[in-house]
Amino acid sequence: MLKDVTTVSTAGDYRLYLRFEDGAEGVVDLKPRLSFRGVFAPLKDPAYFAKVRVDPELGTIAWPNGADLDPDVLYAWVTGALVLHETEAIP
């Protein structure tokens, strides 16, 4: 599927507005989706969470410490589309 993220901005309380290269857009709430452990621990701080940016090389969002999220998963969260991998097929 691979839809690159082209725009990201904070939408308050661990929510992000995302726009993708195909024009799909929406807000995703990461608070219930992140464990805030390991590389994601710094994101618990709202000021650090707000440092999110688009990494054009990866086609997704990232934070200064290298934390990032799979763009296919983000796309699925925003659009409700299924995430399929190369080895999976639709029955």
What the chain holds in terms of domains, given with CATH numbers, is: 5-79 (3.30.2020.10)
Answer for the pair 84, 31: CB distance below 8 angstroms, yes or no: no
User: pLDDT of the chain along its 91 residues, tens only?
Assistant: 568 999 999 999 999 999 999 999 999 999 999 999 999 999 999 999 999 999 999 999 999 999 999 999 999 999 988 766 555 444 4
pLDDT at 2: 62
Q: What is the pLDDT, as a whole number, of residue 91?
A: 45
pLDDT at 80: 87
